[in-house]
A = this chain, B = another copy of it.
Amino acid sequence: MTTVQWQRKDLVGIYELSAAEIELVLDTARAFKQVGQRAIKKVPTLRGKTLVNLFIEPSTRTRTSFELAAKRLSADVINIDTTASSLVKGETLKDTAKNLEALNADIIVIRHSAAGAAHFLASRLRASVINAGDGAHEHPTQALLDAFTIREKKGRIAGLNVLILGDILYSRVARSNIWLLTKLGARVTLSGPATLVPRQFESFGCRVTYDLDGALAEADVINLLRIQHERQRRSAFPSIGEYSTLFGLTKERFARTKPDALIMHPGPINRGVEIDSDLADCERSVILEQVTNGLAVRMAVLFLCAGGART
């Protein structure tokens, strides 16, 4: 157990966290993971507190995970999404958030298409602000749950070779993962189509390679990012078939990986694109465990930022 104290009311990004703070989140999540295995999966930690899921960009998956995490902590949850939201229409993001705070919201979980949205709110509100993905900037709870899963399976993060494969350029998941893993001492390698994996990412302390086979052979962890057509400029991106052939984790490529390399994916997976359908369900795939761990990590983050743990 780490002995660092959590002093933040917000979780905006991994970038600003210390290695000790990251480890504190992971240690706290380990305790909360056990709550999910009890018959009664609830603790009264956030009873009487209100969490608002403010999803300006829709995501059922992440919203559901935060909603369940909050309910397990006995918080009240209000979901606000863009559909039919007059709260949001004609109002600035700041006014929307100030109104939620005026309704005594204790925690605002925000997903927004603009990088910086979470930071913008965090610096203007008394409420805790949790970044659930802001543009191509950060998705800190995803990186934390990825790290939790690696640590649980491998016993450590320092010294591991982690390969992140796919659309790096537009990926907030990639950015948050790179920052977290390098802070904790992993060696991070990026690969994928050259248009989507620019050399400049090496300035973040990781390696960029276009030798996918070489990278796969030495990886202890292979994190396959989802191909998000909607986010990409057409010109930068090969066809789906071409992507699958050149960069997908096929059985052939899988045969050349280390026998204990973990297969990860933030989901939802495109079967047959980023990964062969059978491999997605194989023993070395921890994709569903990532989902389960996401719940524990989000409980930990909510508890640390809003549960009265701050000194």
> Closest approach, in angstroms, between the C-beta of A166 and any C-beta of chain B?
15
Chain A interface residue number, banded: 35 or more
> Closest approach, in angstroms, between the C-beta of A305 and any C-beta of chain B?
16
Question: Using an 8 Å CB-CB cutoff, how does the interface string of A175-216 with B read, 1 for contact, 0 for none?
Answer: 000000000000000000000000000000000000000000
A261 at the interface (CB under 8 A from B): no
In the docked arrangement, what's the CA distance between A83 and B85, Å? 11
- Taking a contact as CB atoms closer than 8 A, the residue among B83, B89, B308 that contacts A268 in the complex is B89
Which residues of A (209-229) have their CB < 8 Å from a CB of B? none
Known contacts being A68-B104, A78-B67, A295-B103, is A42 close to B36, with CB within 8 Å?
Answer: no
Question: Using an 8 Å CB-CB cutoff, how does the interface string of A153-180 with B read, 1 for contact, 0 for none?
Answer: 0000000000000000000000000000
- Taking a contact as CB atoms closer than 8 A, the residue among B48, B82, B291 that contacts A40 in the complex is B48
A65 at the interface (CB under 8 A from B): yes
A20 at the interface (CB under 8 A from B): no
Copies in the complex: 3
> Closest approach, in angstroms, between the C-beta of A218 and any C-beta of chain B?
29
Contact B99 A87 (CB under 8 A): no
The residues of B that contact A253 with a CB separation of less than 8 Å are none
* Segment touching B, from A9-17, A55-63, A114-122, A242-250: A55-63
Known contacts being A68-B104, A91-B268, A268-B90, is A98 close to B58, with CB within 8 Å?
Answer: no
A60-B86, A60-B88, A91-B267 given; name 15 further pairs at CB < 8 Å.
A39-B48, A40-B47, A42-B76, A50-B68, A58-B84, A60-B85, A61-B86, A64-B78, A68-B76, A83-B83, A95-B267, A96-B268, A99-B267, A101-B288, A103-B294
